[in-house]
């Protein structure tokens, strides 16, 4: 099946008029022969061929994929038009009946692959993860079958006669998780991955420190089980054999999928086998990681250990957006598509465009300001430790000691909070010089419960803006692997990290910490025990922050929008992302 690029004429014009932000493109790349005026791989093809692959791989696993190949060389493309192509793979549980073969997925970050990269000599593949669509096997939530299918899909694509053997991956959410799996297991032909908002360990997808996320998160396993059993539909009969095999294996798959659930949400063997953080050091591919601090689906505590351990060339964009890509509308970056193109040009085509020489991190703070850094938190960051005082203060030293009780059964019904008993609040004085927090705030507390259980929920606030949050089930004070019942009235000391952030409090503002046993925001499950906790507000009640001084000249972009109206007066805004039709 063949098709044309509806956007090709537009893309060809864009190639000559794109303005790339200063410092992001090595000028020498523009002088290399065979590249367009902006230093990108030039458009060479005017159409595409669509085909479906049914791939038999090891252990009887059947994998299915939709493939888009560039065809119909443009006039003037020259005699050296390639016949084999580097490939960008989006491996997902979501394709179901396929992508339709029209070259338009309906989601702009993925349409970018077809609209911009395909005519420039890239193949684009949308693959079905094991147990989904036309691929056989179990839906296995980051487990052994999914891992095997991720590596096998990369290697099967690399073996095709139209492939040049270089595979990159891209995708958001679950489509980012498949990249974590393939990269962690060092798929031999995987050259680069661009995961956006991926889980790096399955436990963090559902639970934080023994506290389950509320609402629909309890239905996660059942949702994906059901989706894996849905037929691919009548339009893609080639997918039916793999789907039939999945249905055949589903009773065993479903039994395995529920091994991780325990009533008290321990980090057990099931979750340990689905924790990729220790495998970051095994990665051979380059990594471009994207994470928003405001992500409601893949919580920001998934970022950190895995990426930090990766030993290869890497890049990260971090900032204040939701479960989405940091486009101009979402985060102020009108150069996202250009940057992704440059990344793939360098890693898959070897074009020396200078992206490998840039600082590792592009970071956006809570005021919408972007800066670049080689390390995050920066090497010159300094710790700031604040004590929680019995008088509600949050001070560097000399806090008033005392014991404060909060929560209790009366706060379980209707979540009666904020009355001095259901919630404790600690606040700094007005900060004359402001405060810039980076990384993960850490809480160290000594607590006792009036019963053998209890949960604490902590949040940091800048006025009414949420800075960071975290929760802990006191049954796991000695470790998340095994719950230990509390002795009522006996003190328990624990320390835990909150979500990472990059937050700039302006001069005159104050930082507030709230502690509660029932979550009024319904982010976490309620504590059905109705425990009352007593906090020992003394030198053991500590909030430790990592802080930096940001030089004004380090800011290269200030973006604006609804979420920054309170803090941004004069900002840059351009809702047209460059390099792809919107």
For the segment 452-505, what is each residue's pLDDT rounded down to a tens digit? Answer: 999 999 999 999 999 999 999 999 999 999 999 999 999 999 999 999 999 999
- Residues 456 and 531 sit within 8 Å (Cβ to Cβ): no
- Residues 156 and 63 sit within 8 Å (Cβ to Cβ): yes
- 560 in a domain, yes or no? no
- Residues 519 and 451 sit within 8 Å (Cβ to Cβ): no
Is residue 211 domain-shared with residue 170, that is, in the same domain? yes
- 556 in a domain, yes or no? no
> Helix (H, G, I), strand (E, B), or coil: what is residue 193?
strand
Residues contacting residue 80 through CB under 8 Å, at least 6 positions apart: none
φ/ψ of 149, rounded to 5, equals -70, -30
Domain boundary among 307, 326, 358: 358
Tokens 């593949």 label which residue?
A: 125
Q: What would the two tokens of residue 395 be?
A: 């001070």
- 115 in a domain, yes or no? yes
- Residues 62 and 136 sit within 8 Å (Cβ to Cβ): yes
Tokens 């039916």 label which residue?
A: 240
- Residues 291 and 318 sit within 8 Å (Cβ to Cβ): yes
How far is the C-alpha of 426 from the C-alpha of 390, rounded, in Å? 9
Is residue 303 domain-shared with residue 419, that is, in the same domain? no
User: Per mean pLDDT, which range of 205-214, 217-226, 434-443, 562-571 is the poorest?
Assistant: 562-571
Is residue 137 domain-shared with residue 192, that is, in the same domain? yes
Q: Which domain holds residue 467?
A: 382-547
> Helix (H, G, I), strand (E, B), or coil: what is residue 355?
helix
How far is the C-alpha of 97 from the C-alpha of 348, rounded, in Å? 29
Is residue 335 domain-shared with residue 425, that is, in the same domain? no
Is residue 203 domain-shared with residue 278, that is, in the same domain? yes
How far is the C-alpha of 175 from the C-alpha of 564, rounded, in Å? 29
How far is the C-alpha of 122 from the C-alpha of 552, rounded, in Å? 40
Task: Write the CATH number for 99.
Answer: 3.40.50.1820
- 95 in a domain, yes or no? yes
Is residue 398 domain-shared with residue 280, that is, in the same domain? no
Is residue 341 domain-shared with residue 448, that is, in the same domain? no
Question: Is 50 exceeded by the pLDDT of residue 222?
Answer: yes
Is residue 38 domain-shared with residue 117, that is, in the same domain? yes
Is residue 76 domain-shared with residue 218, that is, in the same domain? yes
List the beta bridge partners of residue 315.
288
Is the Cα torsion angle 259, 265, 266, 271 positive or negative in sign?
positive
β-pair type (532-537, 402-407)? antiparallel
Task: Write the CATH number for 393.
Answer: 2.60.120.260
Residues contacting residue 162 through CB under 8 Å, at least 6 positions apart: 69, 83, 84, 85, 123
Is residue 46 domain-shared with residue 180, that is, in the same domain? yes
Q: What would the two tokens of residue 356 be?
A: 């490998």
Going from the C-alpha of 313 to that of each of 20, 318, 370, 560, the distances in angstroms are: 22, 17, 21, 31
The pTM (predicted TM-score) of the whole model is 0.93
For the segment 524-570, what is each residue's pLDDT rounded down to a tens digit? Answer: 999 999 999 999 998 899 999 999 999 999 999 888 766 666 666 66
For the segment 124-147, what is each residue's pLDDT rounded down to a tens digit? Answer: 999 999 999 999 998 899 999 999
For the segment 350-374, what is each residue's pLDDT rounded down to a tens digit? Answer: 999 999 999 999 999 999 999 999 9
For the segment 400-458, what is each residue's pLDDT rounded down to a tens digit? Answer: 999 999 998 776 655 444 555 689 999 999 999 999 999 999 999 999 999 999 999 99
- Written as one string, the DSSP assignment of 53-92 is EEEE-GGG-EEEEEEEEEEEEPTT--TT--SSEEEEEEEE
Q: How far is C-alpha 66 from the chain's CA centre?
A: 25
Is residue 215 domain-shared with residue 252, that is, in the same domain? yes
Is residue 351 domain-shared with residue 413, that is, in the same domain? no
Q: What would the two tokens of residue 342 be?
A: 């440059």
- Confidence (pLDDT) at 17: 26
């Amino acid at each position: 099946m063949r098709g044309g690029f509806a956007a090709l004429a537009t893309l060809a014009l864009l190639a000559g008029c794109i303005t790339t932000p200063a410092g992001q493109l090595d000028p020498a790349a523009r002088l290399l022969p065979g590249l367009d005026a902006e230093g990108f791989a030039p458009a060479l093809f005017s159409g595409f061929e669509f085909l479906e692959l049914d791939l038999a791989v090891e252990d009887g696993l059947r994998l299915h994929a939709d493939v888009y190949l560039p065809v119909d060389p443009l006039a003037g493309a020259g005699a050296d038009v390639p016949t084999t192509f580097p490939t960008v793979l989006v491996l997902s549980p979501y394709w179901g009946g396929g992508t339709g073969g029209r070259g338009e997925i309906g989601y702009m970050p993925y349409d970018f692959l077809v609209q911009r990269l395909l005519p420039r000599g890239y193949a684009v593949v949308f693959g079905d993860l094991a147990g989904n669509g036309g691929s056989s096997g179990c839906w296995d939530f980051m487990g052994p079958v999914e891992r095997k299918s991720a590596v096998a899909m990369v290697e099967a694509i690399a073996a095709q006669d139209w492939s040049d053997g270089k595979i990159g991956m891209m995708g958001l959410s679950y489509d980012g998780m498949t990249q974590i799996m393939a990269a962690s297991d060092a798929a031999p032909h995987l050259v680069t991955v661009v995961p956006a908002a991926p889980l790096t360990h399955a436990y963090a997808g559902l639970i934080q420190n023994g506290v389950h996320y509320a609402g629909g998160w309890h239905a996660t396993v059942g949702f994906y089980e059901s989706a894996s059993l849905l037929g691919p539909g009548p339009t893609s009969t080639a997918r039916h054999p793999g789907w039939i095999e999945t249905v055949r294996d589903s009773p065993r798959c479903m039994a395995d999928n529920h091994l991780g659930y325990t009533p008290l949400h321990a980090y057990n063997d099931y979750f340990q086998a689905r924790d990729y953080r220790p495998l970051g050091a095994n990665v051979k591919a380059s990594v471009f990681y994207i994470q928003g601090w405001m992500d409601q689906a893949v919580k920001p505590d998934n970022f950190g250990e895995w990426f930090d351990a990766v030993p290869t060339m890497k890049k990260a964009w971090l900032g204040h957006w939701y479960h989405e890509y940091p486009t101009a509308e979402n985060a102020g970056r009108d150069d996202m598509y250009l940057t992704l193109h440059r990344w793939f040009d360098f890693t898959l085509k070897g074009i020396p465009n200078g992206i490998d020489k840039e600082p590792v991190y592009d970071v956006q703070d809570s005021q919408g300001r972007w800066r670049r850094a080689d390390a995050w938190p920066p090497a010159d960051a300094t710790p700031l430790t604040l004590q929680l005082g019995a008088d509600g203060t949050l001070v560097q030293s000399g806090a008033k000691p005392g014991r404060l009780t909060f929560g209790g059964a009366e706060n379980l019904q209707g979540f009666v909070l904020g009355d001095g008993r259901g919630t404790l609040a600690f606040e700094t004085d007005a900060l004359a010089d402001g405060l810039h927090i980076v990384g993960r705030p850490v809480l160290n507390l000594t607590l006792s419960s009036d019963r053998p259980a209890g949960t604490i929920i902590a949040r940091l606030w800048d006025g009414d803006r949420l800075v960071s949050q975290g929760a802990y089930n006191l049954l796991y004070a000695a470790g998340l692997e095994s719950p230990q019942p509390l002795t009522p009235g006996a003190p328990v000391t624990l320390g835990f990290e909150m979500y990472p952030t990059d937050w700039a409090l302006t001069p005159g503002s104050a930082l507030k910490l709230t502690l509660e046993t029932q979550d009024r925001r319904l982010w976490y499950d309620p504590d059905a025990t109705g425990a009352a906790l007593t906090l020992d507000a003394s030198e053991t009640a500590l909030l430790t922050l990592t802080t930096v001084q940001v030089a004004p000249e380090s800011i290269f972009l200030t973006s604006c929008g609804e979420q920054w109206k309170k803090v941004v007066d004069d900002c840059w805004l351009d809702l047209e992302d460059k390099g792809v039709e919107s």
